[in-house]
A and B are shown apart, each in its own frame.
Chain A
Amino acid sequence: MPPSLAAPGSDLDSSFAALGDPVRRALVSRLAQGDATVGELAEPFDLTPQAISHHVGVLRRCGLVEQRREGARRPCRLRVHQLSLIGTWIDDQRRAWNDRLDALEQHLTDDGAVR
């Protein structure tokens, strides 16, 4: 799939949406420092583990976070690839628009020639 012909993928949309919440941004920043369980993530916040679990669920569904099982622990981990997609998104837009303008230029040239 070429980079984003027009729209960012739905994963990216949901990532942007997920990161609209300040708690989830803080969770992502925390996980950037290293893996952590929901309990560990809850510590700095005035929130219940249930509330943190909800936020982790949102981050997991959009692919920003994954959770694995280690015995009784279920540590969360940042999926750096998905995060980096946000960073490369602007470059994708540039490529898509330059490709589109190539086609427009060709179209205008062809169109002009037959007139």
Chain B
Amino acid sequence: MTTSADLRDDELIAKRHLPAGPERVWAAFTSPESIAVFWGGSHATVPPESVTVDLRPGGEFALDTRAPDGATHRLRFVYMSINAPHELVFDEPTTGLRTTIVVRPAGDGTDLTVHQRRLPPELRTARAADGLASIIDALAAHLQHHEATPERRAP
């Protein structure tokens, strides 16, 4: 499995060419109205009034996502660095996940990349990063160990 490396290293999550200049893309990521429009993708809605953006290092960015069944999650992020309109870095304290969004002019539009990494343990509390490789190894060992016998069902 390659997952262990993925989780520990800076990982390219998505890359997209967008039909708009860097300023418009930047505005889309930093204005509550447009965050509400796209953040939930096709699976969830984001109530516009739930989005708060305090665009400064250390400032909070938060929103609600509402699933089709009505289940609502409050998501909170903290901006780590802001370099308009090129690079936006924010952390999610509950997961220890750092997201870096890079916006570069390309042709008549913009190339956008999203990178993520889990923060090293010393930068967060009670989170596992260094142990994940061994955990994934344990999973592989388990699957190998139990290959011959079908998985018992949880009661």
Chain A residues with CB under 8 Å of chain B are 1-2, 5-8, 13, 16-22, 25, 28-29, 31-34, 66, 68, 77-81, 83-84, 86-90, 93-94, 96-109, 111-112
- Asked if A103 and B128 sit within 8 Å, CB to CB, the answer is no
Residue positions of B touching A, CB distance < 8 A: 1, 3, 6-7, 11, 13-14, 16, 18-20, 24-25, 28, 34, 37-44, 65, 67, 69, 71, 73, 75, 92, 94-96, 112, 114, 116, 121, 126-128, 131-132, 134-139, 141-143, 145-146, 151-152, 154-155
Query: Does B95 contact A112, Cβ atoms closer than 8 Å?
Result: no
A100 touches B38 (CB 8 A): yes
B141 (CB) vs chain A CBs: closest residue: A32
A-B contacts besides A19-B135, A108-B25, 7 pairs, CB < 8 Å = A20-B121, A31-B138, A83-B138, A87-B139, A100-B38, A100-B41, A105-B19
User: Are A84's CB and B41's CB within 8 A?
Assistant: no
Beyond A5-B40, A7-B94, A112-B20, is A90–B3 a contact (Cβ under 8 Å)? yes
When distances are taken between beta carbons in the complex, the residues of chain B under 8 Å from A88 are 3
Of all chain A residues, the one with the shortest Cβ separation from B37 is A107
9 A-B Cβ contacts within 8 A? A8-B95, A17-B126, A19-B131, A22-B131, A32-B141, A86-B135, A103-B42, A104-B28, A111-B20
Measured CB to CB, the nearest residue on chain B to A8 is: B95
The answer to whether B41 and A103 touch across the interface, beta carbons within 8 angstroms, is: yes
Given A20-B126, A79-B154, A80-B143, check contact A90 B38 (CB 8 Å).
Answer: no
Partner of B16 from A93, A101, A109 at Cβ < 8 Å = A101
Beyond A17-B128, A32-B138, is A97–B44 a contact (Cβ under 8 Å)?
no
